[in-house]
Structure 1
């Protein structure tokens, strides 16, 4: 059977259980697709031997008849997740040669559920970026093209490799992480589904830290049902992570009824940005109408502190990054600079970090160190923390008023060309996160669902924001939106 790599998780699961296909056949189809897609730059560490060994084990498990939902399904793992015996560099030179002796908790849970690891996926260095242009491995290319143009487009960031791989059918699904939109923005740019769960729903242990109070892992999949299946396998309490929530994990897939009658959807007036493209405005209006037609009540709401979210985020995230990245110094693992005679340990630290970190990471470390320094801690960092509390309170207020979910655009535009943005003005790139960072600051679940194409044939996504810990309800609302939008477009294969 050809094109097995084009299957969804749900469809492949059903075929595996019906013994119509084997995990080895499914895995081999993905490995063949990966080898033919080097032009995309999505997979950076291929692990075919591990994949086929895991696929054979999954087939044996399936034969016994007690396999969990993810058993035998081939997926990609973002390079931010530590994987035992496999390079885990966070797309940075400073972690060159690092092969962990352990798996991340999320990776281990997926392995225990029988998922097959095809390899490691490209990303922005240390997850810092919105276009996947800061990776030591080089850029990821979006499988989508503008009309008949050959311009290489960004897949979004930081989970650009994950997004491109799922969109191009190199794997059935992939892990991503989201600190300020790094699952939802690439999902929107590549026409796939991506969910960031509530902060604490997925363990952060064994995932290279960017900003510890914002980072959260989640699945990037071909549709909402797949997101529900994979998210359930990724969630659960982890005593190794002090921020992991000790809450039961619902059966998210069973909650996908598509019935949202009586639900109340909020439309935040502060998300109507000056200069928003007409296509994004129309997509948002169309999505609102779809949810209303599905039986939901639509209500205008106010999130008054939204305008302060980006500045607060770009103080808090770099501050935490400067602290987290202090551990990379060339002493115990990774890259170490070559020293000249007479250099001392301070020279070793300085040269190693100068060589090991890319420009965007260096910029954020410097910003973070600055806002944490003695004279500026209160002026910047503490003020940003207070703003964050106000943003969180805005959401709590609207949810207390009966709002079940909030609908917004996922991104301010469709995918842009590599090199077209932020080369001289990094703030221009930061503005890509304008619709997504509030969700991280408030610790809420958010999902991006593909809902249409722009005038040049590029995918556009809508974002739904849910109540804390109610991913099941959020996924069901997303499922209703997905059914109404009927998005089935795929990129034309050029790679």
Structure 2
């Protein structure tokens, strides 16, 4: 029989429904795989009992002749940014040490209601701040990929959803939740050869998800392929009255709407994304993506997004400003870490707790955010960045008068070695150069694997759609997936 851990979400769902194998068999197979992969450091907490309980429920429902839930029999990984009742939730930070929520986030509850089981909580950059998963307080996540030619250098899996990306790529789970503030689903998906979609801002509830930048954060699925992303996103999305930014809209049947026939679709190619210094391999892959979409029936048109060059600077003002506000609650008073030096007063406790609990990157962003929100600099920085954000959104509106989806590379490079960029924050921030603009505009965007670089490492193609047009993004992604024929996978060394 096929190794059950080689199956994706759709294959597991359909196999359990058909009785080809039991949900418990699937859960057992993945539980064993997770337990043997500790060298990757993808899981912070393993929850085999949760996965097995959901599997037993699925098998019992099938035996009773009941209609199975959409994700019955499918075990998943949960990024450690989502609160999970009775299971520690740390956001990858020491400052939340010992915090065990008494409730589930809306996203996790939606997935349990759909029949999914949880294999464990996944490692991540601390408070989702990072592009390499090197800022986690619990150690680096290590990519399952290796450069060809015998190199054993540990590679970055991307971030902040690095644990999610690695768990899916290494076949430790068929799908995982991620969050995307400026590219944290799409960039790690590209680095590890999987698919991931950030839906329209407001499609997925933020309630019970630990906040980084509230006007940007959005949950989404990471999975082996486009269909699996569509299935998982349908279970995650939906209106939530507890989230003021949640969109009160019905959840489309994205899986049923999948089609790689792009006749009549116009694909925009933004000239501003052709950046000096981009490796030739990235430009070559982009051209192949254009050719694949044309072959699928799409019309290719040139578009302009003139304020693109300001997107990254604007993002690194707006996101840290919101982080500075959101992270003020971690003060040692109510939950998590408390550092109380002998004889210390309240202010001393605040300072000691935050100094010990937050990592260097989180401190850097809090300080930047506090600075740009201060009385003397608010107008000069935050107000200006907010205006730029409006102009970027307007650029996309005008571009979508000429096209239906936009195609770009996902990242400016393949995965780099751990430690290679950690001493240069600006070089690290450049990893998000292609993904940040669509985040600022709140648009749906997806990365799908398109090929390998000269070192045998995955490269991704990036699709951006109109607001609420996840279907268009998924369909274009499916067209690329079918033509790219990407079947590469990392060879197990862990």
Question: Secondary structure at 2:305's aligned position in 1?
Answer: coil
For structure 1, the 5+ residue unaligned runs are none
Deviation at 1:2, TM superposition (A): 5.4
Asked whether the 8 Å contact 1:62–1:71 carries over to 2, the reply is no
Tell me how far apart the structure 1 counterparts of residues 366 and 161 of structure 2 sit (CA, whole Å). 20
Deviations along 1:160-202, whole A, 9 cap, x unmatched? 0000000000001000000000000000000000000000000
Question: Secondary structure at 1:267's aligned position in 2?
Answer: strand
Deviations along 1:373-415, whole A, 9 cap, x unmatched? 00000000000000000000000011123x1100000000000
Tell me how far apart the structure 1 counterparts of residues 465 and 159 of structure 2 sit (CA, whole Å). 22
What aligned pairs does 1:33-432 form with structure 2 within 5 A after superposition? 33-63=33-63, 64-147=65-148, 148-341=150-343, 343-401=344-402, 403-423=403-423, 425-432=424-431
For structure 2, the 5+ residue unaligned runs are none
Tell me how far apart the structure 2 counterparts of residues 399 and 299 of structure 1 sit (CA, whole Å). 11
Asked whether the 8 Å contact 1:255–1:473 carries over to 2, the reply is no
Deviations along 1:117-152, whole A, 9 cap, x unmatched? 000000000000000000011000000000021000
Following TM superposition, the consecutive aligned residue runs of length 4 or more in structure 1 with deviations greater than 2 angstroms are: 61-65
2:449 counterpart residue number: 450
Tell me how far apart the structure 2 counterparts of residues 38 and 322 of structure 1 sit (CA, whole Å). 33
Deviation at 1:61, TM superposition (A): 2.3
Tell me how far apart the structure 2 counterparts of residues 168 and 481 of structure 1 sit (CA, whole Å). 22
Question: Secondary structure at 2:493's aligned position in 1?
Answer: coil
1:20 counterpart residue number: 20
Tell me how far apart the structure 2 counterparts of residues 61 and 417 of structure 1 sit (CA, whole Å). 46
Deviations along 1:287-326, whole A, 9 cap, x unmatched? 0011011110001110000000000000000000000000
Tell me how far apart the structure 1 counterparts of residues 483 and 163 of structure 2 sit (CA, whole Å). 28
Does 2:16 align with 1:11? no
Deviation at 1:62, TM superposition (A): 3.0
Tell me how far apart the structure 2 counterparts of residues 57 and 69 of structure 1 sit (CA, whole Å). 13
Tell me how far apart the structure 1 counterparts of residues 467 and 444 of structure 2 sit (CA, whole Å). 6
Tell me how far apart the structure 2 counterparts of residues 173 and 330 of structure 1 sit (CA, whole Å). 35
Asked whether the 8 Å contact 1:84–1:99 carries over to 2, the reply is yes
Tell me how far apart the structure 2 counterparts of residues 39 and 175 of structure 1 sit (CA, whole Å). 21
2:488 counterpart residue number: 489
2:475 counterpart residue number: 476
Tell me how far apart the structure 1 counterparts of residues 174 and 399 of structure 2 sit (CA, whole Å). 36
Question: Secondary structure at 1:455's aligned position in 2?
Answer: coil
Deviations along 1:241-279, whole A, 9 cap, x unmatched? 000000111100011121111100000000000100000
Question: Secondary structure at 2:256's aligned position in 1?
Answer: helix
State how many pairs are aligned. Answer: 492
Tell me how far apart the structure 1 counterparts of residues 296 and 249 of structure 2 sit (CA, whole Å). 31
Tell me how far apart the structure 1 counterparts of residues 70 and 50 of structure 2 sit (CA, whole Å). 20
Deviation at 1:353, TM superposition (A): 0.3
Tell me how far apart the structure 1 counterparts of residues 477 and 103 of structure 2 sit (CA, whole Å). 35
Measured on the aligned residues, the alpha-carbon RMSD in Å equals 0.8
Asked whether the 8 Å contact 1:266–1:301 carries over to 2, the reply is yes
Tell me how far apart the structure 1 counterparts of residues 2 and 363 of structure 2 sit (CA, whole Å). 46
Deviations along 1:15-69, whole A, 9 cap, x unmatched? 1001111111101100110111000000110011222112111222233331122
Tell me how far apart the structure 2 counterparts of residues 67 and 99 of structure 1 sit (CA, whole Å). 31
TM-score scaled to structure 1, two decimals? 0.99
Deviation at 1:339, TM superposition (A): 1.9
Tell me how far apart the structure 2 counterparts of residues 289 and 357 of structure 1 sit (CA, whole Å). 46
Asked whether the 8 Å contact 2:340–2:348 carries over to 1, the reply is no
Asked whether the 8 Å contact 2:189–2:196 carries over to 1, the reply is yes
Question: Secondary structure at 1:461's aligned position in 2?
Answer: strand
Deviations along 1:217-262, whole A, 9 cap, x unmatched? 0000000000000000000000000000001111000111211111
Question: Secondary structure at 1:253's aligned position in 2?
Answer: coil
Tell me how far apart the structure 2 counterparts of residues 362 and 492 of structure 1 sit (CA, whole Å). 37
Asked whether the 8 Å contact 1:91–1:123 carries over to 2, the reply is yes
Asked whether the 8 Å contact 1:408–1:464 carries over to 2, the reply is yes
Tell me how far apart the structure 2 counterparts of residues 199 and 365 of structure 1 sit (CA, whole Å). 23
